[in-house]
Amino acid sequence: MEAQAPVAVVLVPFTAQGHLNQLLHFSRLLSARGLPVHFVSSATHNRQAKLRVEGWNPETISNIHFHDLPLPPFPIPPPDPLNKFPDHLLPAFEATAHLRHPFAALLRTLSSTARRIVVVHESHMNFARQEASNYPNAESYQFHCPSAIFRSFLEEVNAMGKLTGQVTNSSWLLKLLLDGYFTQRFYDFLFSRREMVMAPAAGHLFNTCRLIEGQFLDLLAHDTYLGSKIWAIGPLNPMDAARSSCCHWCLEWLDKQPPKSVIYVSFGTMSSISDEQICEIAIGLERSKQKFVWVVREADKGDIFAKGEREEDQERKIQLPKGYEERVGEVGRVVRDWAPQLEILGHPSVGGFMSHCGWNSCMESMSMGVPIAAWPMHTDQPKNAILVTEVLRIGVMVREWSRREEMVTAEVVEDAVRRLMGSEEGTEMMKRAEELGQRVREVWSEVVVVPFPAQGHLNQLLHLSHLLSTRGLPVHYVGSATHNRQAKLRAEGWDPNTTSNIHFHDISLPPFPTPPPDPNATTKFPDHLLPAFEATDHLRHPFTALLRSLSPTYRRIVVINEPLMAFCAHEASNYPNTECYQFHSSSAFCSFFFTQEFDTMGKTTGQITESLGLPVISLDGCLTPGFFQFLAARSEMMKTPTSGHIFNSCHPIEGRFLDLLSKSGPFFDSKIWAIGPLNPIDTACPSRSHWCLEWLDKQPPKSVIYISFGTMSSISDEQIHEIAIGLERSEKRFVWVVREADKGDIFAQEEKEEARKIQLPQGYEERVGEVGRVMRDWAPQLEILRHPSVGGFMSHCGWNSCMESMSMGVPIAAWPMHSDQPRNAMLVTQVLKIGVMVSEWSKREELVTAEAVENAVRRLMESDEGKEIRKRAEELGKEVRGVWSENGSSHSDFDSFISNISRE
């Protein structure tokens, strides 16, 4: 039986542009959290929503499934410029009743395939809640596109739309009467929908935030929605307009204008303005001598794609005064097509917005810190205008609502523009608007990730950045230009082009030596990388500058750094809204023993090791004096307290040692999250094609051993020869990566040095023929390990390689070289018992003979012992792949970490 999907979210928007837009942005946020989203509307309105989406690339949101439901033909009258309320849209609104049966059919299908169905609908689409009540695994939430101030007022109004009395004790609400907000036809439509009898919604969502409307949300919570859950999740529009890829001619014009010098004029998609009023606006803008961008377009019809056959149904061509566009010249620009409003408002040259005060427009303007000249037309707009001008005091009224029937003269338009853009009053408003915009943007967090510049470290933190990005969090990945390029070049298992929320900061480093590796060194630790490691000190000042720029803009800055990049925690401590988390690229098992070794100078390590039934391993041979000096130079900063610790591990592998860690040394009483494996574990979705994978396709299951010793260790010619002979004699199929260790800058070409060409025995590659394959370039290790023909892995036991092998259920022939690798090998062979040792660590300075290599391969791949090891490895792999299921330990720990950094 096919497993049920955990949850399906079904969104049912009302069929008007501002509503479609808000729900589509909300869909994007849900999708970014990995939730499958079903966006349900007519084919026409889904097409409209996708056509006009701003601020993100819909092609990257594969989890949004658009359901294009059929509607019968409905009248599509043109807008009436003499009637501000869009009665011409009512036939389209009324047609939404025909969505009910197809929606019910969709729910029927989803209810059998998803454990829970979450329906999010607008109040005008109440049939969605009524239908959802028929399914025990469905729950409904009401989404409110209007502001909370409007909703708090509207709930106090009786069925005929007349004020029943004092709404609140707030004097600004007493100014407004309901007359003029709607037409009688729309009242009839509203109350026909309210007649549905249904259970209360499970909760209410508002595209607002408490900074803007906290008092009105509280009014609703203590009155109308008493006992209900209310979430303020706005602004839903993307916050960083500067990162948009939108290219529009008006933006190019704005690039040439001084800061805060342009007023943007737009009255939304639903209201039509008379020719006479258009003329007054045109003259007023011209006389104000203020730079402007003015959107001059007719209101939407019920179907924006329909072409009327009758003359009276043809789209109206709005006329401006003769010669107007030529006359205003470089001072003003008229846009007659669809305008990228969010990008315009986010442009630094825009200093004001003349608006109808639709809630979308208000939220976009407020989040970008742009003050408003308010000119409300209908519905919630008068209320929103009062919020803008009298509550928040970030705007001026173009004309009072009580004079809504009068023509707004050119003089009034000119005065409003000058008040907003050129007066002392306007300067104060702009200041308040900018401060509010900054605080609104602070409701979101930004994450700064700082990896250590070695491949295994770069790789793990890039995978973590990808995961954070899929939760909708903007991530700043900070490294040298060289190491960022390396990380992206070698990324496996996902397409970095789909993670637009990862922002790479390519920091220039002064030149540093890049000596070649020494394959004949007694200690295998890569001392040749020390100049690159030491050069990371030069990242400190650019990192601090980044924190300085982000800190005033966002509510919380979350820094994730490795212990060896200790300057991060030290610098982060200078910013009260910044908190630092330490990411550990090594195992918890190794971290536990390293902690004991350094804290007690090795005095208690033997006792603890013996109590666990394990042999003692000292640090001898793991590191070099040069690296100990590197550590000592950073030891004081490494003591800076952090907010918690993150491990690329999981409880099925290291639960016991994660618990021990939480009771020892610097980890005592700290928060610890185990969120591994960070490598993608979807075996059905290989990310690329490589010739070795094609060869593996032709081999029997579990018949191939993969050999790779990572990116940091160099192996002598003599040892290479012994490995080659041992593999050949084993008569086992193999894929062997034969390549030199990385230099500090893998892209640098030294003039006097040629890259070492590793020599195999003469005629070797021809001799092994179809039995073995030698790879001399970069290998797609993750795809190789998850290939069904691979049955073993001879590895140096770097933690990345261990986690990848364990998550794919592949047993290991362990050959540790340095650093954490001896302890990882002990975890693999003696604790988890999913591998064999090629050579004991105590014999690390001896040559490993061909006989020893052959014996290790045969033990792992064909012996009874090897079969038991493989069985345990496969069982562990199954457990590990389950940690990212809905109730898995890593999924839970990651959710816990996200909740922690997103807390109020």
Examine the pLDDT at 10 and tell me if it is beyond 70: yes
Indicate which CATH number applies to the domain containing 710.
3.40.50.2000
What is the pLDDT confidence band of residue 5, given thresholds at 50, 70 and 90? Answer: low
Return the sign of the alpha-carbon dihedral for residues 884, 890, 892, 893. Answer: negative
Residues 147 and 163 reside in one and the same domain: yes
Residue with tokens 């004097």: 171
Examine the pLDDT at 360 and tell me if it is beyond 90: yes
Percentage of the chain with pLDDT > 70? 87
| Rounded alpha-carbon distances, angstroms, from residue 386 to 170, 380, 400 | 12, 10, 10
Examine the pLDDT at 34 and tell me if it is beyond 80: no
Comparing 1 with 390, the larger pLDDT belongs to 390
The answer as to whether 29 is a domain residue is yes
The answer as to whether 237 is a domain residue is no
Residue 228 has what pLDDT? 83
Q: Give dist(CA 64, CA 834) in Å, integer.
A: 41
Closest C-alpha among 767, 691, 686, 685 to residue 724: 767
Examine the pLDDT at 176 and tell me if it is beyond 80: no
Q: Out of 409, 424, 441, pick the residue that ends a domain.
A: 441
pLDDT in tens, 395-437: 999 999 989 999 999 999 999 999 999 999 999 999 999 999 8
Residues 559 and 585 reside in one and the same domain: yes
What is the pLDDT confidence band of residue 175, given thresholds at 50, 70 and 90? Answer: very low
Residues 876 and 896 reside in one and the same domain: no
Q: Give dist(CA 762, CA 540) in Å, integer.
A: 49
Examine the pLDDT at 630 and tell me if it is beyond 70: yes
Q: How many domains does the chain have?
A: 4
Residue 706 has what pLDDT? 98
Mean of pLDDT over the chain: 87
| Rounded alpha-carbon distances, angstroms, from residue 454 to 536, 703, 903 | 11, 32, 33
The answer as to whether 299 is a domain residue is yes
The answer as to whether 685 is a domain residue is no
Most confident segment among 92-96, 229-233, 354-358, 587-591: 354-358
Residue 684 has what pLDDT? 41
Do residues 733 and 705 lie in contact, with contact meaning Cβ atoms separated by under 8 Å? Answer: yes
Q: Out of 201, 232, 263, pick the residue that ends a domain.
A: 232
Q: Out of 199, 232, 265, pick the residue that ends a domain.
A: 232
- pTM tops 0.75, yes or no: no
**Cβ neighbour number for residue 573 with a 10 Å cutoff:** 15
Residue 290 has what pLDDT? 97
Residue 317 has what pLDDT? 83
pLDDT in tens, 703-750: 999 999 999 989 999 999 999 999 999 999 999 999 999 999 988 875
Residue 182 has what pLDDT? 80
Lowest mean pLDDT among 181-185, 541-545, 653-657, 658-662: 181-185
Domain containing 820 equals: 691-880
What is the pLDDT confidence band of residue 835, given thresholds at 50, 70 and 90? Answer: very high
pLDDT in tens, 75-91: 999 999 988 899 999 99
Mean local confidence (pLDDT), 790-805 = 97
Which residue intervals of 243-305 are DSSP H helices?
249-254, 275-288
pLDDT in tens, 491-524: 766 655 555 568 899 999 999 999 999 999 988 9
Percentage of the chain with pLDDT > 90? 65
Examine the pLDDT at 647 and tell me if it is beyond 80: yes
Residue 428 has what pLDDT? 97
Mean local confidence (pLDDT), 353-358 = 97
Residues 211 and 261 reside in one and the same domain: no
Residues 192 and 250 reside in one and the same domain: no
Residues 133 and 116 reside in one and the same domain: yes
Residue 281 has what pLDDT? 97
Residues 47 and 194 reside in one and the same domain: yes
Residues 461 and 582 reside in one and the same domain: yes
End-to-end CA distance of the chain: 42
What is the pLDDT confidence band of residue 592, given thresholds at 50, 70 and 90? Answer: confident
pLDDT in tens, 677-687: 998 755 444 45
Residues 260 and 385 reside in one and the same domain: yes
Residue 658 has what pLDDT? 94
Residues 544 and 663 reside in one and the same domain: yes
Comparing 778 with 442, the larger pLDDT belongs to 778
Residue 561 has what pLDDT? 96
Residue 111 has what pLDDT? 92
Residues 547 and 665 reside in one and the same domain: yes
Lowest mean pLDDT among 216-220, 320-324, 410-414: 216-220
Residue 313 has what pLDDT? 57
Closest C-alpha among 257, 312, 231, 311 to residue 29: 231
Examine the pLDDT at 170 and tell me if it is beyond 60: no
Residues 777 and 698 reside in one and the same domain: yes
